[in-house]
Amino acid sequence: MDSVASYIIRIYRFERDRPKSLVGVVLEAGKKGKKAFQSCDELWEILNSPVESADADSTEKGTIRNTTRNSR
């Protein structure tokens, strides 16, 4: 049975005269890590990649680890 995944897509840059120039990150709901993309093709590749298991290592190419620390 196929799994359904939910994503949050953050687009940081898009140029109207160059529609393939799209820059942002993809977050899969309920999972740690982000995958960066720099074109429509890369975004499509991320969204069409097989859904990873919850314990999969997130060190693959294009993955950004969250290094933000809470300061109090």
1 within domain boundaries: no
71 within domain boundaries: no
Total structural domains within the chain: 1
72 within domain boundaries: no
User: Is the backbone of residue 41 left (phi > 0), alpha (psi -120 to 50) or beta?
Assistant: alpha
What HEC string does 17-57 produce? CEEEEEEEEEEECCCCCEEEECCHHHHHHHHHCCCCCCCCC
2 within domain boundaries: no
pLDDT tens digits, one per residue of 59-70: 454 555 444 444
Burial of 38 (0-12, 13-18, 19+ CB in 10 A): middle
70 within domain boundaries: no
Structural domain that includes position 35 = 7-64
11 within domain boundaries: yes
Other CB atoms within a 10 A radius of the CB of residue 45 amount to 13
pLDDT tens digits, one per residue of 27-58: 998 889 899 999 999 999 999 987 665 444 44
Q: What is the pTM of this model?
A: 0.61
